[in-house]
Structure 1
Amino acid sequence: MKLWSVVVSKIEQVTGQTFGLQKVEAMQGGDINRVYRLQGSTQSYFVKLNKASLLAMFEVEALGLHDLASTHTLRTPKPICSGIVGEDAFLVLEYVALQSLSSRSQQQLGEQLAQLHQVQQSYFGWHHDNYIGSNLQKNTRENDWVHFWQEQRLAVQLELAAQNGYAGKLQTLGAELYGLVPQFFSVTKPKRLYCMEIYGQVMQQQMNRGRQLFMILLATMVIERLI
């Protein structure tokens, strides 16, 4: 199949290593992407597919994973490469063998998430717009949290809802909420924190050497959160 031969070629080009593809295994997970495991003799990769017009969604997901990794708090799969083959866009990630959460790993996840939420930055926003599912999400940097949340989170969602036929009471209540946000934050002051909201599946990896536990964030959406 041309798709997989092109993906394998890109993997080999980026890694500088030969990858002998032996098996393509369809996997479950995610609502909008088709996901696969590419298995070789000594290495495997995790691949997401979607329509070619959504390549930017995959590219910004890779950026989010890089930024998460740079905090040195939570283990994330390493992005390998992305591109387009015919009508498909693809994202190749490090494949991580997963196990069920234990009580210890759940505790560790909580500790590492707390560490992540202590990483600060000097503004609200991010250096790149990203996506909620396949919908574009604006992240223009601002110094004022209230205005940022009103315009780049709430107002955008209300507009999207209106475009999809949700008007009337939803828009009325949304406008009311928009107006109440400054009042709420007049007594609650948010910190400028560099945080990640996580969607998808969070599992643990049991490493062979040293049996060290790592929490794995399989998919990420980088946003700003009030702590």
Structure 2
Amino acid sequence: MYEFWTAAAGGSPLEWVAVLTGFACVWLAARESLWNFPVAIVSCGLYVLVYFEAKLYSDCFLQTMFISLSGYGWYQWLHGGRNRTELPVSRTRAREWVACAVFVPAFTLGFGYYLQHHTDAALPHWDSFTTAGSLAAQYLLMRKRVENWLLWIVVDSIYVPILWAKQLYPTSVLYALYLGLAVYGYWEWRRALHRQPALSTDIQAA
């Protein structure tokens, strides 16, 4: 245990600030707070630098995507419901599952191949898979689909050993905490879904 905390404490100040803002972001999302989006923009901007230094280029790209998607998600949560009202929690549509099932392996193979043959990326295909899974989960989060948390559980469980192997110890610990927050978020959003009138789970056709 002493060795564990000694290793974790060895992270750079930049990484630690990214860790703290990242934790705050996911906690706020689990609580359905709109503040998760501006906090996410700050955290992702810091992680662009952290992942670039670690040669996790796919994850570096992912953070830049998250910055853009956070702005879109912010708008969706405010005005994405019926008649431009606040977006309610709902279940993932069948076509969204199909889109995720096509996108994730296609991105993993395609971008993983590029990273493997054209960069010095570490773990190119694993890096690409977690990036693709994160993008799929983030899309569902922006649409307030309750199952986004299930995808985050899968992605976070893979990130923990990858980041530890790259000696990003504070971030690895953060993703271990994300696992707990994803379980909590799923529980909270299911409760919110069940509190809504029966019709509210079907109002988002898009």
* Higher Rg: 1
Whichever structure has more strand as a proportion of its residues is 1
User: Structure 1 length normalisation: TM-score?
Assistant: 0.27
Higher RCO (CA < 8 A, seq sep 6+): 2
Whichever structure has more helix as a proportion of its residues is 2
